Structure 1
Amino acid sequence: MAAFVSLRPRGSLGPEKLVAHRREHLAACKDPRTVSIRDELPKTTSGEILRRELRGRTSA
């Protein structure tokens, strides 16, 4: 399982804090193996995230 994260422009969440947050709030079986930080996530015109595009990027 992979996770894609888009941080807010003025956010203070770094990679270390992100790992600590997900370990604190997610069960071990739901913790993603990889986390990719992106500038922005691909979205439709209505604002929904295009998961198919993200899945294609993990296998490439």
Structure 2
Amino acid sequence: MEGPQGSSSSDEKELVQGMRDKKEHVIRKTLFVPVVIGIGVTVTATVELELLNFSFNCE
């Protein structure tokens, strides 16, 4: 990342913005996985409880 010292600060801003976007993307991705797993577990547990209740009602 060697460049002329007198270059405009807009390049630096874009670079910082790009790094910030990348960091946000990584954070979103990291948060996304547990959320999806949590939803999946919740749905599975709910479905299993419903099936259990249903089978108890049938007996």
- TM-score class, shorter-chain normalisation, is under 0.3
More strand by share: 1
Larger Rg: 2
Normalised by the size of structure 2, how large is the TM-score? 0.22
More helix by share: 2
